[in-house]
Amino acid sequence: MAQLSRDSEAFGGALMTLEQAGERVVALVQPVSGTQVLALADADGRVLAQDVVAGLDLPPFANSAVDGYAVRFADLATAGETRLPVAGRVAAGADAGGVTTSGVAVRVFTGAPMPDGADTVFMQEDVALDEGVAILPAGLGSGANARPAGEDIARGTVAAMAGQRLRPQDLALLSALGLIEVTVRRRPRVAVFSTGDELAEPGAPLAPAAIYDANRALLRAMIARAGAEVIDLGILRDERDSLAQNLARAAGDCDLVLTSGGVSTGEEDHVKAAVEREGELAFWRIGIKPGRPVALGRIGATPFIGLPGNPVAVFVTFAFVARALIARLAGTQPVRPMALPVRLGFAYRKKEGRREYVRVSLEPTADGVMVARKHPQDGAGVLTSLTRTDGLVELAESLTAIPEGTVVPFLAYGSLVG
């Protein structure tokens, strides 16, 4: 692991942008070692370990894109309609060998191989028949409705690149090339735990002044969607020696240790002391809201990341910081979620120099531009502000007073968790 930068021993120092944090996260860790061969059916979401080169043209033969009539373009009249006798019929999956096209039209169907010499296909709805003669309208270009061999991808070219996270459409392409298995990187193993004597496991009796643990459920799901294997350590109580032992054990078995809360500078924040006993810790003051300093460190040689304690801040800092670290461990590039323009349905004020993410619901308008409505409760501990909204609007560092009607970027939750 690279040397940790220290903006301060506590929470002072200059604010770091999300882009700077992302760059430093990537520099801190290396991809995990180890690969495995997986059946293509099991490879969704996995990261390719090596390039996949097309072993054949796709499509492997020239074929018709429509139901219609295949002809030689050279047989068409230069002006006006063309009349050609219909001779032959080729269906999808049939052998077109021996079917002549010189001076005739051949009935073909979608996916059928093109008869020898044919290079153009008229759609059946554009063709009239007169006692076995096809009446072909003027104006169709050479090669229309015909798919040449290799139109999709040519033999010997890279179909999927190493470091690429496989999606359903990638699996379809590889399947079309005849693959049944691929070599992928091992999934990073991420240990996650919660700390605090006030926490109870859902389903257990709730003692006075106790609360059920919500952050671990959130993090388990986000870690899995980020492409890692989750190692759930449960709730660790606020006892420094036990915490240190559990952290050291997790670091020996996993590629990343992640927690939320407990890494501040208060006297009851024992995770900070436990991490420093086994390794080192640095606090990064990232200029975002919701959120607060994110703790980055190492336990032995294993990276550690400590997120804030409030669930909305956990969601935001994981989406923009921890997800990039897991992507790096997985051997792929972190992807900046795509933002869409929306119009603010509210006025807003914020501090300069800090990027804010406001939870909003979207409403369609008559002019086609979506309007963002702010959730009425914006506290970092209000879980329903995440469950009853559609995503986040991003308000840049330079903005302070933002009037209603301003067009700003919107990030759907789906783009932040997968």
Same domain assignment for residues 167 and 277: no
Alpha carbon distance 375, 165 (integer Å) = 34
193 shares its domain with 279: yes
Position 267 pLDDT exceeds 70: no
Backbone torsion region of residue 69, taken as left when φ is above 0, otherwise alpha when ψ lies between -120 and 50, otherwise beta: beta
Q: Are 191 and 181 contained in the same domain? A: no
Q: What is the pLDDT of residues 147-184, one digit of tens each?
A: 999 999 999 999 999 999 999 999 999 999 999 999 99
Q: Are 70 and 120 in contact (CB under 8 A)?
A: yes
How many domains does one find in the chain?
A: 4
Q: How confident is the model at residue 273 (pLDDT cuts 50, 70, 90)?
A: confident
Does residue 307 fall inside a structural domain? Answer: yes
Residue 39: inside a domain, yes or no? no
Residue 236 · residue 194 · CB < 8 Å: yes
Amino acid 9: pLDDT: 39
345 plus 219 within the same structural domain: no
Least confident of 131-140, 291-300, 342-351: 291-300
**Cα-Cα end-to-end distance for the chain:** 26
- pLDDT over 90 at 218, yes or no: yes
Please tell me the predicted confidence (pLDDT) of residue 3: 47
Query: Looking at the structure, do residues 325 and 397 belong to the same domain, yes or no?
Result: no
- What tens digit of pLDDT does each residue of 115-124 get? 999 999 999 9
Does 251 reside within a domain?
Answer: yes
CB distance 295 to 249 below 8 Å = no
Q: pLDDT tier at 265 (50, 70, 90 boundaries)?
A: low
Are the CB atoms for 70 and 105 separated by under 8 Å? yes
Does residue 11 sit within a domain?
Answer: no
Q: What is the pLDDT of residues 8-52, one digit of tens each?
A: 433 445 788 888 888 888 888 899 999 999 999 999 999 999 999
Q: Which of 308, 330, 352 is the last residue of a domain?
A: 330
Q: Work out the mean pLDDT of the chain and round it to a whole number.
A: 91
Is 134 within the bounds of a domain?
A: yes
- The pLDDT value recorded for residue 187 is 97
Per-residue pLDDT, 13: 59
Give the amino acid at 31: P
- Provide mean pLDDT across the span 111-136: 96
d(CA 320, CA 19): 9
CATH number for the domain spanning 254: value is 3.40.980.10
CATH number of the domain at 94, please.
2.170.190.11
Q: Are residues 239 and 318 in the same domain?
A: yes
Percent of the chain surpassing pLDDT 70: 95
**In this structure, are 317 and 346 located in the same domain?**
no
Of 237 and 257, the one with more pLDDT: 257
**Residues 79, 123: one domain?**
yes
Which of the pair, 65 or 97, is modelled with greater confidence? 65
In a domain, 358, yes or no: yes
Q: Is the pLDDT of residue 89 over 70?
A: yes
Structure-model confidence comparison of residues 293 and 353, the more confident one? 353
360 pLDDT band, cuts 50/70/90, is very high
The b/e string for 249-261 (b: 16+ C-beta within 10 A; e otherwise) is ebbeebbbbbbbb
> Could you tell me which residues come within 8 angstroms of residue 391 by beta carbon, excluding any fewer than 6 positions away?
359, 360, 362, 410, 411, 412, 413, 414, 415, 416
In a domain, 9, yes or no: no
Does residue 280 sit in the same domain as residue 207?
A: yes
Confidence at 7, pLDDT banded by 50, 70, 90: very low
Of residues 212 and 23, which shows the higher confidence score? 212
The reply to whether 227 falls in a domain is yes
Are residues 197 and 175 part of one domain? no
Q: Which residue has better confidence, 38 or 237?
A: 38
Q: Which domain holds residue 205?
A: 18-33+187-330
Residues 295 and 173 in one domain: no
CATH classification of the domain holding 391: 2.40.340.10
Question: Quick check: 131 pLDDT over 50?
Answer: yes
Percent of the chain clearing pLDDT 90 (strictly above): 73
pLDDT of residue 334: 82
Shared domain check, 217 and 129: no
CA distance 33 to 52: 19
> The tokens of 355 are what?
């990027």
